[in-house]
Amino acid sequence: MSRSRQNRQPPVVERAIPAFERLPRPLLLRAESLPAGSLARSHAHPWIQLSYALSGVLQVRTSEARFVAPPQRAIWIPAGVEHEVRTSERAEMRSLYLDPAAISRGERCLVLTISPLLRELIVAVGELAVEYDEAGPAGRLVAVLFDRLAAADEVAFDLPLPRDRRLVLLCDALQAEPGDARSLEEWGRRIGLAGRSIARLFRRETGLSFAEWRLRLRLMRALALLEGGQAVTSVALDCGYASSSAFIVAFRRQFGDTPGAMFG
């Protein structure tokens, strides 16, 4: 049994979903201190949501993909998209609800880079009144935040999910055991599909090669393990890396920081 299987999962703590029907202003910020195991079950809003954690790691799932965001990232969820939000450990979450008439970045979920300036803007708008003066300094502050959000860099760190039932079996197994190192040919014997066919179908359904998809999965899993306080060497082995140095190189290439810098 792998170390990741041995880790005890915290009990699920369900979050209430906001009941209001409209936004009183183009931006409404909801601040929450989330316990480990927090879950907002699948739901949608008529407004855009930016899910951001000042501390902790957020996990968002839609019907098409999984998204994970440490404090240097945030998840952009367009209006009308069904999504659930989870945290494996404690997190300080900021949900920014945004009027689609005031800002848009298309119709798909995105993972955005949160610069130091954007972080401070998010903290600052959290101090505004719910019905802030749109014509005064508060409105100008929100306008700057919208401008910076519109320009924020997108990072390719979603995990697209296939629909083909055979690939679903494969992906479910890997999500349960990210360190599984079986080849495409070995997986093919398990799901009844030639390795070459898996490769073609994987690319068609997810836009990624099998190797790229598994790399993203492993790094997303690593974030949760590191957040929970697991040692880097242990995380590397759990996620299928032969050495901690190889894991650190891959982690830094993806996130721009070493595990120690991000979680130290």
Domain span at residue 208? 161-263
How far apart, in whole angstroms, are the C-alpha atoms of residue 51 and residue 73?
9
**Among residues 116, 114, 112, which one has the least CA distance to residue 157?**
112
Question: Could you tell me the CA-to-CA distances from 108 to 10, 104, 207, 210 in Å, in that order?
Answer: 30, 10, 15, 22
Q: Is residue 2 part of a domain?
A: no
- Asked if residue 41 and residue 141 are part of one domain, the reply reads yes
Neighbours of 134 (CB within 10 A): 13
- Asked if residue 151 and residue 165 are part of one domain, the reply reads no
Residue 252 has pLDDT above 60, yes or no: yes
Enter the pTM of the model: 0.85
> Which two three-digit tokens encode residue 251?
């982690």
Looking at the structure of the chain, the number of domains it has is 2
Model pLDDT for residues 24-77, shown as the tens digit of each residue: 999 999 999 999 889 999 999 999 999 999 988 899 999 999 998 888 899 999
- Asked if residue 176 and residue 122 are part of one domain, the reply reads no
Q: Which residues contact 92 (CB under 8 A, 6 or more apart)?
A: 31, 32, 33, 34, 53, 54, 55, 56
- Asked if residue 258 and residue 168 are part of one domain, the reply reads yes
Q: Is residue 73 part of a domain?
A: yes
- Asked if residue 166 and residue 150 are part of one domain, the reply reads no
Kindly report the CATH number assigned to the domain that includes residue 146. Answer: 2.60.120.280
- Asked if residue 45 and residue 101 are part of one domain, the reply reads yes
Model pLDDT for residues 144-199, shown as the tens digit of each residue: 999 999 999 998 878 999 999 999 999 999 998 988 989 999 999 999 999 999 99
Q: Is residue 256 part of a domain?
A: yes
- Asked if residue 165 and residue 147 are part of one domain, the reply reads no
Kindly report the CATH number assigned to the domain that includes residue 176. Answer: 1.10.10.60
Residue 124 has pLDDT above 90, yes or no: yes
**Among residues 79, 80, 98, which one has the least CA distance to residue 145?**
98
